[in-house]
């Protein structure tokens, strides 16, 4: 059984801090060991969040809404008028997104309605304001956001009822292949999923890709530099596992030895093969390798240095050359329909080949940070 089946079917929904996420960490560690590398856990505390389905009515019509992670609750059902706040700028795969407030007669904001970040269905996501700064918020679909633009002043009734849960823990899974040098290339993916989402594509496929790379590199000659294989926790609530890893590496003096990162996220379904990388030299290398593998002919491609919301970001922010490989977008993203039957083995295998080539390239000649 591949890790896709194990994570998405045998375990299922594995939100950060849940018992299912703990089982997923154990399963990933076992799979890494079976691939020939010893695994350890990097544990960290977090405040959990138990989401509930939001309730939303606009002019008496029930609308679909997805929960915003770490949004504060409303005091029961609140009612007010809809006011358009503004529209974000496009950012890589993120289209312009509309934001709306539900305000009372005095103009006080009671709740917020955010357009789904990729313009599709109303899905669970997290606010750009992050955690304790998130007001009562729900996500609406891209089509409903467009419709709401024409309904300025409509009456909305909203209920947000998520719950903060202190005292939970999470674990990154970390395995190391020692090379001839302590300089390290990190290969990573996240294993958690979203509320009600089995996460077969996002991101059981990425973890399966890292497992295949572990098996490949463990069975070969000792690499010139070391390889650290990581399955990060809590990516879906703000890249927490990757941020903990980078922070700990920094305070322990290990960050300067990390010479490159290759992250796999959503690698087996999607309209385009995407590589999000910085600095430009790393992006150029990735594009050249994709061309040499024939991937730019097989797929519509997107190579960009703009990235947010993926586990390579905390590394890039710390000055480490870092890339994410993905196939994106796809209509089942963050929904309960994201099952293993959607996996395209060709896309998965191609993403792994590109990742392996990029790792080998950086092992031989790291990009200057």
Query: Per-residue pLDDT for the chain (369 aa), expressed as one digit of tens each?
Result: 699 999 999 999 999 999 999 999 999 999 999 999 999 999 999 999 999 999 999 999 999 999 999 999 999 999 999 999 999 888 767 789 999 999 999 999 999 999 998 899 999 999 877 667 789 999 999 999 999 999 999 999 999 999 999 999 999 999 999 999 999 999 999 999 999 999 999 999 999 999 999 999 999 999 999 999 999 999 999 999 999 999 999 999 999 999 999 999 999 999 999 999 999 999 999 999 999 999 999 999 999 997 789 999 999 999 999 999 999 999 999 999 999 999 999 999 999 999 999 999 999 999 997
State which of 161, 183, 200 marks the end of a domain: 161
115 shares a domain with 29: no
59 shares a domain with 46: no
9 shares a domain with 128: no
Residue 282 lies in a domain: yes
- Paired tokens of 155: 């009456």
pLDDT on residue 347? 98
State which of 132, 161, 190 marks the end of a domain: 161
331 shares a domain with 241: yes
Domain span at residue 78 reads 55-161
29 shares a domain with 61: no
Q: Are strands 258-264 and 184-190 parallel, antiparallel or unpaired?
A: parallel
172 shares a domain with 108: no
Domain of residue 324, CATH code:
3.40.630.10
- Paired tokens of 43: 């544990």
Residue 315 lies in a domain: yes
Residue 274 lies in a domain: yes
308 shares a domain with 179: yes
How far CA 223 is from CA of 34, 184, 212, in Å, comes to 20, 10, 16
Residue 45 lies in a domain: yes
How far CA 229 is from CA of 91, 150, 252, in Å, comes to 29, 49, 18
Residue 112 lies in a domain: yes
pLDDT on residue 151? 96
Of 220, 225, 227, 214, the residue nearest 180 (C-alpha): 225
Residue 311 CA to residue 302 CA, distance in Å, equals 18
299 shares a domain with 222: yes
280 shares a domain with 134: no
Residue 369 lies in a domain: no
Domain count of the fold of the chain: 2
pLDDT digit string (tens) for 183-232?
999 999 999 999 999 999 999 999 999 999 999 999 999 999 999 999 99
Q: In what order do the strands lie in the sheet with 125-126?
A: 61-62, 55-58, 155-159, 78-87, 98-103, 109-115, 137-140, 66-69, 125-126
State which of 130, 161, 192 marks the end of a domain: 161
pLDDT on residue 1? 60
313 shares a domain with 252: yes
Strand locations in the chain, DSSP E? 39-50, 55-58, 61-62, 66-69, 78-87, 98-103, 109-115, 125-126, 137-140, 155-159, 163-177, 184-190, 226-232, 258-264, 272-278, 300-304, 322-328
70 shares a domain with 34: no
154 shares a domain with 258: no
| pTM as predicted | 0.96
């Amino acid at each position: 059984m591949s890790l896709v089946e194990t994570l998405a079917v045998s375990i299922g929904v594995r939100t950060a801090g849940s018992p299912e996420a703990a089982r997923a960490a154990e399963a990933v560690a076992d799979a890494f060991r079976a691939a020939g590398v010893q695994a350890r856990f990097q544990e960290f505390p977090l405040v959990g969040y138990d989401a509930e389905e939001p309730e939303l009515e606009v002019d008496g019509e029930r609308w679909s809404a997805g929960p915003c992670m770490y949004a504060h609750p409303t005091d029961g059902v609140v009612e007010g008028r809809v006011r358009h706040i503004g529209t974000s700028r496009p950012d890589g795969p993120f289209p312009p997104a509309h934001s709306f407030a539900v305000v009372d007669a005095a103009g006080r904001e009671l709740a917020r309605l955010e357009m789904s970040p990729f313009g599709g269905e109303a899905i669970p996501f997290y606010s750009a304001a992050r955690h304790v700064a998130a007001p009562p918020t729900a996500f609406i679909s891209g089509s409903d956001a467009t419709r709401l633009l024409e309904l300025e002043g409509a009456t909305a009734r909203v209920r947000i009822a998520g719950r903060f849960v202190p005292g939970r823990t999470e674990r990154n899974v970390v395995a190391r292949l020692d090379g001839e040098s302590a300089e390290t290339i990190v290969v990573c993916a996240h294993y958690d999923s979203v509320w009600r989402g089995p996460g077969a594509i996002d991101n059981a496929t990425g973890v399966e890709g890292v497992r295949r790379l572990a098996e490949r590199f463990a069975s070969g000659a000792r690499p010139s530099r070391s390889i650290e294989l990581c399955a990060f926790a809590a990516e879906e609530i703000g890249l927490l596992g990757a941020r903990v890893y980078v922070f700990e590496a920094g305070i322990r003096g290990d960050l300067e030895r990390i010479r490159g990162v290759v992250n796999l996220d959503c690698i087996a379904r999607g309209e385009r093969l995407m590589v999000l990388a910085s600095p430009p030299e790393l992006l150029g290398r990735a594009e050249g390798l994709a061309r040499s593998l024939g991937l730019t002919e097989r797929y519509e491609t997107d190579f960009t240095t703009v990235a947010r919301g993926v586990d390579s970001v905390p590394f890039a922010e710390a000055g480490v050359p870092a890339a994410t490989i993905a196939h994106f977008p796809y209509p089942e993203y963050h929904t309960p329909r994201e099952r293993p039957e959607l996996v395209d083995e060709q896309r998965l295998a191609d993403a792994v080949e590109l990742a392996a080539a990029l790792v080998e390239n950086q092992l031989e000649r790291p990009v200057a940070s």
